[in-house]
Amino acid sequence: MCCVQVQWWLAVLFVLVMMFLIVFPLYYNAAECLAGLVIIVTGLPVYFILVTWTNKPAAYHTALGQYCRPLMTSVEYLDSLSTSYWSRGPTSPLPTTPPWVSTAGP
């Protein structure tokens, strides 16, 4: 027995409403619906590569790490700015150099 139980008429109503929402737009605006379907279908390979592929090569992880590390660092930096700003008070100056930028000379 399933943990979620609904009455049969509610399930039938849901199916009818979903058919109404899918069939009529396909009939009256087929080009727009097909454009949306193309966008969805082109996203499927990205989903399978990034989410469901379990044994990715080491080069993939290296490239992803080199791309994501500055983004994650910048988000952490901005988060630290917002929390440290409120803890220091509005009169304290904010740091101007993000942590990933080297301030040491050559």
Residues 26-76: pLDDT tens digits?
Answer: 888 888 888 888 888 888 888 888 778 888 888 887 887 788 777 777 776
Q: Residue 33 has which token pair? A: 């619906």
Can you give the pLDDT at residue 6? 75
Q: Residue 86 has which token pair? A: 């409120």
Residues 11-31: pLDDT tens digits?
Answer: 889 888 988 888 888 888 888
> Is 99 in contact with 77 (CB distance < 8 Å)?
yes
